Amino acid sequence: MKSISIGLVGLGTVGAGVAKLIKSRSSYVRAKYGVDLQLTSICDLRVDPKLVKSLGKVNVVKNYNEILNDPAIDVVVEVIGGVHPAYEIIHGALEHAKHVVTANKAVISSYGQELFRYARAKGRSVYFESAVLAGVPVIKTITEGIAGNRYNALFGIVNGTCNYILTQMSQNGLSFDQAVKMAQEKGYAESDPSLDVNGTDSAHKLAVLVALAMGKFLKVKEHIYTEGITEIGAEDFKYADELGLAIKLLAIAKKNDGKVEARVHPTLIAKTHPLASVQNVYNALLLEADALGDVLLVGQGAGQMAAASGVFSDLINLALANDLVDRTWIGDNPEEFEVLELRPMSEVEVEYYIRLMVIDRPGVLSKITGILGNEGISIASVTQKAVSKNMAVPLVMLTHMAKESSLRKAIEQIVKLKETKATPVVIRMERL
């Protein structure tokens, strides 16, 4: 029977779930896998005494260095979130020749290449399945499950909070603020939900996915165009529904002509596509694999046990793989394996949904279509949702394929028209 000693750093929501699984499933893991997972030490500034008592004999410390310096600990589990001191904890664990399991997408997206190189030099592994889509095995699928495939594109609903908010706005007609409040009440959103609703969380996860699937390490702030869901109104869901479309916050990466584009933004997709049916806190990832074809993975992307499940699976897989001398996990590849340039967002071409609030006067539509035409943008359809000579009315337009730079130039000119009475809402479309 192989025994693995674990040091857990962070006993918050995810950490508590991990501790519960180690305690409750220990006999099951011993019987099925021949591995004895022992939670030896926990580090947190504040712990729940009842939870700690339920875990049995476990050492509780407030300084993570006590775990890093403990020669009896084989694996450090980092689940505190954020970049610092999480980076220092992971690096310190590797420095002390310990394997690492983390659920931290911010650290992996920011420092993954460096940490993977250091892990390889130390003959250790960094496991991070829960960094993307919680316990849904997307990372294992990409690197091992369908190894040998090349990925031409990926489309992900990778933030459970945003998907819950958009679902409530779509199905129940809630405003953005109302949907956020409901998400907070249910524990799906933080008191400050900025990193979720502004797209940052999704961008971190997309960086991880692009590194694994396309072999390109991206810097989140510099290389990934990121746009959140704060500007979408309840009326946009109504108009989208009339057009047979759904609105999702998608993390998108495409590879063609030796270039890769990476972007996060609200996206209109056909209501008939499987991604459109992914609701509430569920997440999904659609992979376009060249040999196998399309692969769709769906599961809960938020919640204590969803994330804890991925960490727990990593611990089991790490324990089993560790029988090989100096074995590092295939996902810990520190080198770029494709020569790809980054396609700037300005060069990306998609179709667009544009909602304008304009004064209903003769000649206004011709002004707007003229501006779009001068920028090389052709109109697929136009719908005026109301008629009023004195008040602004919504004008909804769909375009054919157009370059992002051209669309931005056109919007800058449309905003300056005296008939335009609000900032236009622009949502990109993808035909999946």
| φ, ψ (nearest 5 deg) of residue 98 | -115, 145
CB-count burial class (<10 Å; 0-12, 13-18, 19+) for 213: buried
Q: At what angle do helices 13-24 and 304-321 cross, to 10 degrees?
A: 50
Contact by Cβ (8 Å): 391, 421: no
The DSSP secondary-structure symbol of 141 reads I
Return the active site residues: 205
How far apart CA 322 and CA 124 sit, in angstroms, is 9
CA angle 292/293/294 to nearest 5° reads 125
Q: Other C-beta atoms within 10 Å of 389: how many?
A: 9
How far apart CA 99 and CA 54 sit, in angstroms, is 26
In three-state secondary structure terms, 351 is strand
In three-state secondary structure terms, 297 is strand
CB-count burial class (<10 Å; 0-12, 13-18, 19+) for 191: exposed
Longest dimension (CA), the chain: 82
DSSP string, 47-84: --HHHHHHT-S-EEES-THHHHT-TT--EEEE-S-SST
